Homo-oligomer: A and B are copies of this chain.
Amino acid sequence: MNPWPVPDPDLPADVHPALALTARAAARAYGTARARHTRAELREEIADGADGTPTMRVDRYVEDAIASAAARAGVNLLSEEAGFVDNGSATTLVVDPVDGSANAALGVPLSCFAGALVLDEEPREALTVWFDTGRAWHAKADVPTPFRTTGRTGLRGANVCLMRPKRGTEEAWLRVANQADRVRVLCTTCLEAALVAEGSVDAFADPGSDTHRLMDLMAALVTVPAAGGALLDLRGRPLTFGLDLSRRWSGIAAATPELADELIATILG
């Protein structure tokens, strides 16, 4: 069993109630799952999600808690396991219940809740909560956040988080690693995007594996630009709201648009 507690999220006062309610419910559910199950049980794949990827037991715990919370809050839900749940609202909560599911199941203390509120197909507000510490990053679209990106414009000497190299992306991965000062691989896109937004690393990139789904990027799409950075797709595909969960992107989060462009050029070779 994983002995460490999952604290209640430390949220700013002005977080939208639907985001606050679901983030708190997610943290509580993850804490309960860790207290009840071994690491192997948390990791067990018990179903296939609406997005076509397997659902681990830990995902199910958190997803169920979020679905209840979204219904209580009276907003629709778009989530990787459940798909779209219409609660009759003009507002949809796009959520990755457990970003970094493998970490969350194993006990690697790098996983988070990431949610974005979408009104009329436009993301308006986002919240990312690091489960193991309760640290939260909150942003509203086009409103500058108190935390800021590093402002770095060039890749040489940058500190970069990368998605782990998957088959076919090894060369691009190494090109970035060789240009950067240091690379890190934390296996949790939403938390890595929050680290870009708060200025702890200069950038995060999926070097071409097209792994990201809408819920992996929606919170960052609000948070990173509000902190002064850029959130783009490697191949220029528009990052727009929609209910088709088969869409995929290779997300690039960077301290500045210039750094995002250099990362993209380096990855595409």
With A133-B133, A165-B174, A174-B165 as contacts: A106 and B183 at CB distance below 8 Å: no
Partner-binding segment picked from A69-77, A90-98, A193-201, A210-218: A193-201
Whether A184 and B200, one on each chain, are in contact in the complex, defined by CB atoms closer than 8 angstroms, is: no
Residues of B within 8 A of A132 (CB): 133
Nearest-CB residue, chain B, relative to A40: B150
Q: A184 touches which one: B39, B164, B177, B199 (CB < 8 A)?
A: B164
Whether B186 and A165, one on each chain, are in contact in the complex, defined by CB atoms closer than 8 angstroms, is: no
A213–B150 CA distance with the chains assembled, in angstroms: 31
A147–B107 CA distance with the chains assembled, in angstroms: 12
A201–B164 CA distance with the chains assembled, in angstroms: 15
Whether A201 and B159, one on each chain, are in contact in the complex, defined by CB atoms closer than 8 angstroms, is: no
- Chain A, residues 1-16, CB within 8 Å of chain B (1/0): the string is 0111000000000000
- Chain A, residues 160-202, CB within 8 Å of chain B (1/0): the string is 0000110100100010011001111111000000010011110
CB proximity of A58 to chain B, nearest CB, Å:
14
Whether B177 and A106, one on each chain, are in contact in the complex, defined by CB atoms closer than 8 angstroms, is: no
A183–B162 CA distance with the chains assembled, in angstroms: 11
CB proximity of A116 to chain B, nearest CB, Å:
23
Whether A165 and B182, one on each chain, are in contact in the complex, defined by CB atoms closer than 8 angstroms, is: no
Q: A39 touches which one: B4, B109, B199 (CB < 8 A)?
A: B199
CB of A46 within 8 Å of the partner chain: no
Q: Count this chain's copies in the assembly.
A: 2
Whether B165 and A107, one on each chain, are in contact in the complex, defined by CB atoms closer than 8 angstroms, is: no
Nearest-CB residue, chain B, relative to A159: B106
Number of A residues near B (Cβ < 8 Å) is: 34
Whether A170 and B174, one on each chain, are in contact in the complex, defined by CB atoms closer than 8 angstroms, is: yes
A111–B184 CA distance with the chains assembled, in angstroms: 13
CB of A29 within 8 Å of the partner chain: no
CB of A237 within 8 Å of the partner chain: no
Whether B182 and A184, one on each chain, are in contact in the complex, defined by CB atoms closer than 8 angstroms, is: no
CB of A265 within 8 Å of the partner chain: no
Whether A102 and B186, one on each chain, are in contact in the complex, defined by CB atoms closer than 8 angstroms, is: no
With A132-B133, A170-B174, A200-B109 as contacts: A102 and B187 at CB distance below 8 Å: no
Q: A182 touches which one: B3, B177, B187, B201 (CB < 8 A)?
A: B187
A115–B124 CA distance with the chains assembled, in angstroms: 47
Whether A164 and B187, one on each chain, are in contact in the complex, defined by CB atoms closer than 8 angstroms, is: no
The 6 closest A-B pairs by CB, nearest first: A107-B200, A185-B185, A108-B200, A184-B185, A164-B183, A106-B200
What are 5 sample pairs from A and B whose C-beta atoms fall under 8 A apart?
A107-B195, A107-B200, A109-B133, A167-B178, A184-B187
